């Protein structure tokens, strides 16, 4: 088993932390994992992406050019990564702010209205958890339990009161995928 | 407890490993992509636990000279920076080597020249392995390719530095500094006591000179005959290091018809390309030098005897390839370079394409 | 009376400091470094710090300070002595750690290290010899060279339009929160020597007791660089140097 995932969007959308929670979830499940971010000024407003590789074998390269799953949060990232999804792979995207829809027919395309749902839930922080929920439903490499354990590791203790809200968002995200 | 598997960035692993090794002092100045080393140390507050000193200096020039001052008193001290900062440190590194002081310097390389880019690069290979500062000297240069090695090489670097009384460098890059991966950190070791330092470093200017002659740590010797003797002593040490401390990792070289040579994180991207090639039945092997100095000349020469061609992959314009050429006995061997510069990291398919060009004799 | 009758302990009126060894000094006749070396050696001995001191030597005329005073020394790169001292003291907090630097080392190439070590309040003592000229390299302009003063690189006198103004770094350092004791002294007369010795002792006590950073500037003479006899140098210093660099405490925080 090996899954190569890219999460891409604007800096500040929680792209890197979504990847981090996923990586910790893999750690909780005793899987091998690498988390490789784009870094630098782009973290602060520009585009940001993170590659997460999860495997039951030792991982050679943390950098790959094709992906099993792409989670896309803005138009630039869609333009850049739509064609990097392997045939048969999965593309999850939030249509919010997207003006050119994905066109591939050889991959599974899953629109997730995460922004709308976030506004509806009234908690801006739940945005990336909704998408993460959608991701683990569509590509169940890691379990909900592991994600929640991972989240506990990533969140500083003083923010642990936010865990229930995050769990709710995660489950909501899962509901949004058939 | 200590076998706990953790997930962290390479830069964070360096910081934790330093505390756990019992390092006495860290002196550094923030620069991307390695600022997490200092940030992690400041957050961990090791001065409250092991007594380790952590200080943000006013510049890299000051950092390396703090390292020099601390090392001269026999303490285990280190700094970390990235390419432009390491350039600023070169004078101090030369002084460390000339004064025969153990110390650890971490370079998480970014693309140059000049201010360049903050993105990953390996373009400081020449600087690290061929001198860097003025004078005839070498650093022991370790090239980690994983977060685990980032942690492990802190201890290894200090062990070698103290064994040979010479500064050691961890030559990492932005990929291995910034990526998160699983790591098992070493057990906490106590910092060395004053008595241990006096015993193990009888040369140190500890200030506690009772019962011995005063110690002077200096690189100055105006008598040329004596300065030549100093140089001869340094060179003897270097020959000893070359004899004892060559480290490398070889993958699939037993039956390899083509050989890839790469170091650091790029070796792992190459490995992915090699896995893909092997799936297609192409026999490709990899040698990953772990010590860039001393360089594994013999291993590469040996592996090249039954290969048809060699691809050297680096994040630079072609630096380590010169050592590979020196290693290979056969002057007719097709030795090629594939590199990306300016902070671009090639993906596995680019490396596969370069391998194909080598196999098909295409330019 | 035979000379052997005179050489008796009870007749001794002066002896060379115990920690100042018999190496032949390389300093020029009339140079102030010799006197200051003597004071440093005496103070270390009198404070009982012979086996508890780390000196940091500079680049400049005092580059070989480590050859003359018998304590542990580290020879710094040009200007970096305060950085070395910072680490040496932080890693060995119970030691006396002092630097011995000239004007080029301390106030030109090493300005960043000087200001930041002082500003951090490093518990080190800085002995700063200001003779307004680069002695070792052959009498070139120093940051502290006076306006109009002739040197090898200001052959027509220091012109502030070309070369900027003399830098009173000691005054600058006195304003920093990290310094506890900042003083300017000279060693051209016996009374001045006694004052300078007191200042050095105070600075060393501050280092050992970790009260902050101490700076002892000592106005020095450079007969070779100034192209004067030692006596003329003393007179010239009295007349010219003290006008720009007045002697006395600039800062002295008790306890």
Q: How high is the ipTM of this complex?
A: 0.94
Q: Which residue of C has its CA nearest to B101?
A: C74
Strand order in the sheet with C53-57: B216-217, C72-75, C53-57, C96-102, C125-130, C213-219, C179-186, C248-252
Strand locations in chain C, DSSP E?
53-57, 72-75, 96-102, 125-130, 133-134, 140-141, 179-186, 213-219, 248-252
pLDDT of residue A50: 96
C72 to B214: CB separation less than 8 angstroms, yes or no: yes
Asked whether the predicted pLDDT for residue C146 surpasses 60, the reply is yes
Domain extent for A135: 2-175
B94-128: pLDDT as tens digits: 999 999 999 999 999 999 999 999 999 999 999 99
pLDDT of residue C163: 96
Strand locations in B82-139, DSSP E?
104-109
Lowest mean pLDDT among A124-133, B59-68, B137-146, C189-198: A124-133
C97 to B57: CB separation less than 8 angstroms, yes or no: no
C86 to B66: CB separation less than 8 angstroms, yes or no: yes
List the CATH number of the domain containing A161.
3.40.920.10
The secondary structure of B197-243, three-state, reads HHHHCCCCCCCCCCCCCCCEECCCCCCHHHHHHHHHHHHHHHHHHHH
B185 and B293 share one domain: no
Helix (H) or strand (E) holding C203, with range, is helix C190-208
Q: Which of C71, C85, C88 is the closest to B214 by Cβ?
A: C71
Q: Which residue of B has its CA nearest to C21?
A: B214
C100-142: pLDDT as tens digits: 999 999 999 999 999 999 999 999 999 999 999 999 999 999 9
Q: Which of B59, B69, B72 is the closest to C86 by Cβ?
A: B69
Domain count, chain B: 2
How many CB atoms sit inside 10 A of residue C235's CB? Answer: 13
Asked whether the predicted pLDDT for residue B2 surpasses 70, the reply is no
CATH (residue range C28-252): 3.40.50.970
pLDDT of residue C26: 92
Among B47, B66, B92, B211, pick the best mutation site for testing chain C contact (most C Cβ within 10 A). B66
Residue B363 pLDDT grade (very low, low, confident, very high; cuts 50, 70, 90): confident
**Main-chain phi, psi angles of B317, to 5 degrees:** -85, 0
For every residue of A107-155, DSSP letters joined together read SEEEE--HHHHHHHHT-GGGHHHHHHHHHHHHS-SS-HHHHHHHHHHHS
How much of chain C exceeds pLDDT 70, in percent? Answer: 100
- Residue B211 domain-assigned (yes or no): no
Strand locations in chain A, DSSP E?
2-10, 32-37, 47-55, 67-72, 85-93, 108-111
C148-189: pLDDT as tens digits: 999 999 999 999 999 999 999 999 999 999 999 999 999 999
B254 and B186 share one domain: no
Alpha helices in B245-296 (DSSP H): 265-279
Q: Which residue of C has its CA nearest to B72?
A: C74
Average pLDDT over residues C75-102: 98
Q: How far does CA A41 lie from the centroid of its chain? A: 21
Asked whether the predicted pLDDT for residue C7 surpasses 90, the reply is no
CA distance B117 to chain A (A): 10
- Residue B275 domain-assigned (yes or no): yes
Q: Is A46 on the interface with B (CB under 8 A)?
A: no
User: Which stretch, A117-131, A142-156, B69-83, C241-255, has highest mean pLDDT?
Assistant: B69-83
pLDDT of residue A22: 96
Collect all residues of chain A within an 8 Å Cβ-Cβ radius of residue B271: 60-61
Residue A125 pLDDT grade (very low, low, confident, very high; cuts 50, 70, 90): confident
Among B46, B53, B65, pick the best mutation site for testing chain C contact (most C Cβ within 10 A). B65
Alpha helices in B99-223 (DSSP H): 125-129, 147-164, 174-178, 194-200
Collect all residues of chain C within an 8 Å Cβ-Cβ radius of residue B207: 51-54, 71-72, 88, 92, 95-97
pLDDT of residue B337: 98
- Name the B residues in 82-121 with CB < 8 Å from any A CB: 118-119
- Judged by DSSP in three states, C95 sits in coil
B178 and B284 share one domain: no
pLDDT of residue B180: 97
- Distance CA(C144)–CA(C105), nearest Å, equals 11
- Residue B218 domain-assigned (yes or no): no
Among C62, C64, C72, pick the best mutation site for testing chain B contact (most B Cβ within 10 A). C72
Q: What are the distances in angstroms from CA A163 to CA A156, A167, B105, C154?
A: 11, 6, 41, 71
Radius of gyration of chain A (CA): 15
Q: How many CB pairs under 8 A join B and C?
A: 132
Burial class of C3 by CB neighbour count within 10 A (0 to 12, 13 to 18, 19+): exposed
Q: Is A18 on the interface with B (CB under 8 A)?
A: no
Domain count, chain A: 1
B167 and B254 share one domain: no
B174 and B45 share one domain: yes
pLDDT of residue C255: 57
B227-265: pLDDT as tens digits: 999 999 999 999 999 999 999 999 999 999 999 999 999
- Residue B212 domain-assigned (yes or no): no
- Judged by DSSP in three states, C128 sits in strand
List the CATH number of the domain containing B25.
3.40.50.970
pLDDT of residue B1: 45
How much of chain C exceeds pLDDT 90, in percent? Answer: 93
A60 to B269: CB separation less than 8 angstroms, yes or no: yes
Domain extent for B45: 5-195
Q: Is C12 on the interface with B (CB under 8 A)?
A: no
Residue A45 pLDDT grade (very low, low, confident, very high; cuts 50, 70, 90): low
A39 to B174: CB separation less than 8 angstroms, yes or no: yes
For every residue of A103-119, DSSP letters joined together read --SSSEEEE--HHHHHH
How much of chain B exceeds pLDDT 70, in percent? Answer: 99
- The percent of chain C in helix, strand and coil, each rounded to the nearest 5, is 40, 20, 40
List the CATH number of the domain containing B353.
3.40.50.920
Q: Which of B59, B207, B208 is the closest to C112 by Cβ?
A: B59
Residue A39 pLDDT grade (very low, low, confident, very high; cuts 50, 70, 90): confident
Average pLDDT over residues C24-44: 96
pLDDT of residue C245: 98
B271 to A60: CB separation less than 8 angstroms, yes or no: yes
Domain regions of chain C by residue span = 28-252
How high does pLDDT run on average in chain A? Answer: 92
Q: Is A64 on the interface with B (CB under 8 A)?
A: yes
pLDDT of residue A44: 53
Burial per residue of B25-63, b for 16 or more beta-carbon CB atoms within 10 angstroms, e otherwise: bbbbbebbbbbbbbebbeebebeeebebbbbbbbbbbbb
Sequence-distant (≥ 6) Cβ neighbours of residue B7 within 8 angstroms: A23, A24, A27, A33, A35, A153, B180, B181, B182, B183
- Residue count of chain B: 363
Helix (H) or strand (E) holding B171, with range, is strand B168-173
Sequence-distant (≥ 6) Cβ neighbours of residue B347 within 8 angstroms: A63, A64, A65, B269
Q: Which of B156, B180, B195 is the last residue of a domain?
A: B195
Among B216, B219, B223, pick the best mutation site for testing chain C contact (most C Cβ within 10 A). B216
Please give the DSSP secondary-structure letter assigned to residue C241: I
Chain C neighbors (3+ CB pairs < 8 Å): B
């Amino acid at each position: 088993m090996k899954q190569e995932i890219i999460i891409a969007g604007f800096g500040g959308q929680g792209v890197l932390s979504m990847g981090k929670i996923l990586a910790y979830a893999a750690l909780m499940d005793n899987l091998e994992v690498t988390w490789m971010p784009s870094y630098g000024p782009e973290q602060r407003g520009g585009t940001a992406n993170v590659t997460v590789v999860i495997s039951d074998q030792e991982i050679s390269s943390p950098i790959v050019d094709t992906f099993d799953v792409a989670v896309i949060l803005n138009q630039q990232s869609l333009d850049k990564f739509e064609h990097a999804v392997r045939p048969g792979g999965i593309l999850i995207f939030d249509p919010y702010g997207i003006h050119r829809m994905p066109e591939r027919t050889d991959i599974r395309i899953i629109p997730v209205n995460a922004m709308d749902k976030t506004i509806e839930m009234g908690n801006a922080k739940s945005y990336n958890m909704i998408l993460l929920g959608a991701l683990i439903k569509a590509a169940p490499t890691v379990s909900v339990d592991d994600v929640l354990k991972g989240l506990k590791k990533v969140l500083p203790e003083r923010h642990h009161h936010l865990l229930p809200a995050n769990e709710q968002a995660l489950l909501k995200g899962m509901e949004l995928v058939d | 407890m200590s076998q706990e598997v953790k997930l962290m960035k390479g830069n964070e692993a360096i910081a934790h490993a330093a505390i756990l090794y019992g390092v006495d002092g860290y002196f550094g100045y923030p620069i991307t992509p390695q600022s997490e080393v200092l940030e992690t140390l400041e957050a961990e507050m090791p001065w409250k636990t092991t007594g380790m000193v952590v200080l943000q200096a006013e510049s890299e020039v000051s950092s390396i000279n703090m390292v020099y001052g601390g090392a001269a008193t026999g303490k285990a001290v280190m700094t970390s920076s990235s390419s432009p900062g390491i350039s600023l440190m070169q004078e101090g590194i030369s002084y460390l080597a000339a004064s025969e002081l153990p110390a650890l310097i971490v370079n998480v390389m970014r693309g140059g020249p000049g201010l360049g880019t903050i993105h990953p690069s390996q373009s400081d290979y020449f600087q690290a392995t061929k001198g860097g500062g003025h004078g005839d000297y070498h650093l022991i240069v370790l090239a980690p390719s994983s977060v685990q090695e980032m942690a492990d090489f802190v201890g290894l670097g200090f062990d070698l530095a103290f064994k040979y009384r010479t500064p050691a460098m961890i030559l990492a890059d932005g990929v291995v500094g910034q990526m998160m991966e699983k790591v098992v950190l070493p057990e906490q070791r106590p910092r060395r006591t004053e008595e241990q330092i006096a015993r193990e470093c009888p040369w140190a200017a500890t200030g506690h000179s009772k019962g011995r002659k005063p110690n002077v740590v200096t690189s100055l010797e105006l008598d040329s005959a004596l300065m030549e003797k100093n140089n001869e002593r340094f060179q003897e040490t270097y020959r000893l290091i070359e004899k004892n401390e060559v480290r490398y990792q070889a993958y699939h070289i037993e039956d390899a018809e083509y050989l890839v040579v790469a170091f650091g994180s790029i070796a792992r991207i190459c490995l992915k390309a090699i896995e893909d090639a092997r799936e297609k039945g192409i026999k490709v092997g990899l040698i990953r030098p772990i010590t860039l100095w001393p360089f594994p000349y013999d291993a590469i020469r040996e592996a090249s005897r039954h290969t048809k061609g060699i691809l050297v992959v680096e994040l630079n314009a072609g630096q380590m390839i010169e050592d590979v050429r020196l290693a290979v006995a056969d002057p007719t061997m097709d030795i090629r370079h594939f590199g990306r510069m300016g902070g671009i990291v090639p993906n596995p398919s680019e490396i596969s394409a370069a391998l194909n060009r080598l196999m098909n004799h295409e330019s | 009376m035979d000379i052997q009758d005179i050489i008796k302990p009870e007749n001794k009126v002066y002896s060379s400091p115990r920690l100042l060894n018999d190496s032949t000094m390389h300093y020029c006749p009339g140079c102030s470094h010799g006197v200051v070396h003597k004071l440093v050696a005496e103070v270390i001995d009198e404070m009982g710090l012979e086996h508890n001191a780390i000196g940091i030597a500079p680049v400049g005329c005092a580059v070989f300070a480590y050859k003359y005073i018998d304590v542990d020394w580290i020879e710094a790169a040009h200007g970096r002595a305060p950085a070395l001292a910072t680490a040496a003291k932080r890693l060995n907090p119970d030691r006396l750690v002092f630097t011995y630097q000239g004007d080029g080392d301390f106030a030109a190439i090493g300005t960043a290290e000087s200001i930041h070590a002082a500003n951090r309040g490093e518990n080190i003592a800085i002995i700063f010899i200001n003779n307004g000229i680069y002695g070792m390299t052959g009498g070139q302009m120093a940051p502290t060279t006076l306006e109009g003063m002739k040197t090898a690189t200001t052959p027509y006198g220091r012109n502030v339009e070309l070369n900027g103004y003399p830098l009173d770094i000691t005054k600058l350092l006195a304003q920093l929160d990290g310094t506890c004791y900042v003083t300017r002294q000279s060693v051209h007369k016996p009374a001045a020597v006694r004052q300078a010795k007191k200042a050095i002792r105070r600075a060393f006590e501050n280092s050992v007791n970790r009260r902050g950073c101490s700076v002892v500037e000592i106005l020095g003479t450079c007969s070779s660089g100034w192209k004067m006899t030692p006596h003329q140098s003393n007179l010239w210093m009295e007349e010219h140097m003290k006008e720009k660099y007045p002697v006395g405490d600039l800062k002295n925080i008790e306890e």
